[in-house]
Amino acid sequence: MRSIHEEVIGLLVLTMGPAAKPFLERQCKFHLGKPAANLTKADIPLLAKWVEIGVGLALGEEVGAKVGARLRAMA
């Protein structure tokens, strides 16, 4: 069984490629105050908010919204 961390990385890789892992690590460290490896299902709603913002800034709001929605569906 895959961890939440692995599931989120798998989802982000589809859009961000190799940048997914460092991106997730930064989001978790600065916005959730924890390492990405310690993610839980309870973290998904807040993480989705920050991922949507971050991806939106890098790749456009539409892409950010889609990634955020996919992430929220994991909760």
Predicted confidence pLDDT, tens digits, the chain (75 residues): 889 999 999 999 999 999 999 999 999 999 999 999 999 999 999 999 999 999 999 999 999 999 999 999 998
Domain ranges for the chain: 4-72
* pLDDT number for residue 61: 97
Q: What angle do CA 3, 6, 57 make, to 5 degrees?
A: 130
Identify whether the C-beta of residue 75 lies closer than 8 Å to the C-beta of residue 45.
yes
Buried b or exposed e, range 15-37, using 16+ CB within 10 angstroms: bbeeebbebbeebbeebbeeebe
Provide the 10 A C-beta neighbour count for residue 54.
Answer: 20
What's the pTM value of the predicted model, to 2 decimals? 0.94
Q: CA 25 to CA 46: how far, in whole Å?
A: 14
Q: What is the pLDDT of residue 68?
A: 97
